[in-house]
């Protein structure tokens, strides 16, 4: 049976979390699906762990130029008409209900090309800063997608039609950062993008917890401005979070 959705997860040095993420998806998701992990030449046990649960693990021996290139490579192997891009620590409490709801949005709106959901941090790890920042981010995503129709999203969760992905020629591989928001910006030019607050995606909040929200926000704002002005990333390398 052809999968309804192709779930694509890029990885790099994710042995500590990828087993949990994939095992939970496999245990809870009963809708026809495939899980594709595309690694970036990890030197830990990421690939070994992923092969226990994923339907396909792409494990090149040399690094990709960007996480965007990782995602694009996986998409070239995907079989479904709906692509789902998630991070290695992104979790969904009830995947069946989640994806049935998401698919219903696409079925109800033929002009809907992509959607994203409400992002947060696992309750046991969440800080006041996490709640405050993601409240702002989710509000911005709601306004830019549902009101301004300009498109915006986090790479924590993006779901899109295969046809739309192919029409915009996938993620821009030259972007080391902001490739996720750029994708939704471009998708919004060919159709409708949507923020769905009923679709909740939680993650560890690792980067903010490691370096602090003030520093991380300054990095993100600088990166966003750089891409907006110069149409390319200032960063030159996708680094793992240890």
69 touches 41 (CB < 8 A): no
- pLDDT of 161-199, one tens digit each? 999 999 999 999 999 888 999 999 999 999 999 999 999
Domain assignments of the chain as residue spans, ordered by start: 5-230
Three-state SS at 228? helix
Q: Tokens 């699906």 identify what position?
A: 33
Check residue 75 and report its DSSP letter: H
User: Which segments of 62-109 are extended strands (E)?
Assistant: 82-86
DSSP calls for 12-71? SS-TTTHHHHHHHHHHH--SSEEEEEEE---SSSHHHHHTTT-SEEE--SS--SSHHHHH
DSSP for 133-162, written as a single string: HHHHHHHHHHIIIIIS------TTEEEEEH
Architecture of domain 5-230: Alpha-Beta Complex (3.90)
Global confidence as pTM: 0.91
Q: 89 in helix, strand or coil?
A: coil
Per-residue confidence band for 239, with pLDDT thresholds at 50, 70 and 90: low
74 Cβ contact list (under 8 Å, min separation 6): 8, 10, 36, 37, 38, 58
Q: pLDDT (tens digit, 9 = 90+) per residue, 196-223?
A: 999 999 999 987 888 877 776 676 665 6
Q: What is the per-residue pLDDT across 118-171, written as a single tens digit (0 to 9) for each?
A: 999 999 999 999 999 999 999 999 999 999 999 999 999 999 999 999 999 999
Cα gap 95→72, rounded to integer Å = 24
Residue whose C-alpha is closest to residue 201's, from 25, 64, 65:
25
């Amino acid at each position: 049976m052809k999968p309804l959705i192709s779930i694509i997860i890029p990885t790099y040095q994710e042995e500590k979390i990828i087993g949990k993420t994939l095992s939970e998806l496999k245990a809870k998701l009963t809708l026809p699906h495939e899980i594709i992990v595309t690694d970036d030449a990890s030197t830990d046990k990421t690939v070994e762990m992923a092969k226990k649960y994923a339907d396909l693990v792409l494990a090149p021996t040399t690094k990709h130029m960007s996480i965007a290139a990782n995602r694009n490579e996986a998409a070239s192997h995907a079989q479904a008409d709906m692509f789902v891009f998630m991070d290695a620590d992104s979790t969904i409490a009830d995947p069946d209900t989640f994806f049935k709801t998401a698919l219903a949005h696409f079925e109800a709106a033929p002009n809907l090309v992509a959607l994203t959901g409400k992002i947060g941090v696992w309750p046991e790890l969440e800080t006041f800063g996490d709640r405050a920042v993601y409240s702002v981010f989710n509000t911005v995503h709601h306004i830019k997608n549902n009101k301004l129709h300009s498109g915006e999203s986090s790479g924590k969760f993006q779901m899109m039609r295969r046809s739309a992905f192919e029409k915009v020629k996938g993620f821009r591989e030259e972007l080391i950062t902001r490739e996720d928001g750029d994708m939704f910006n471009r998708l919004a030019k060919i159709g409708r993008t949507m923020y769905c607050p009923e679709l909740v995606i939680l993650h560890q909040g690792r980067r903010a917890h490691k370096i602090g929200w003030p520093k991380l926000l300054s990095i993100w704002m600088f990166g966003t401005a750089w891409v907006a002005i110069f149409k390319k990333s200032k960063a030159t390398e996708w680094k793992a979070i240890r």
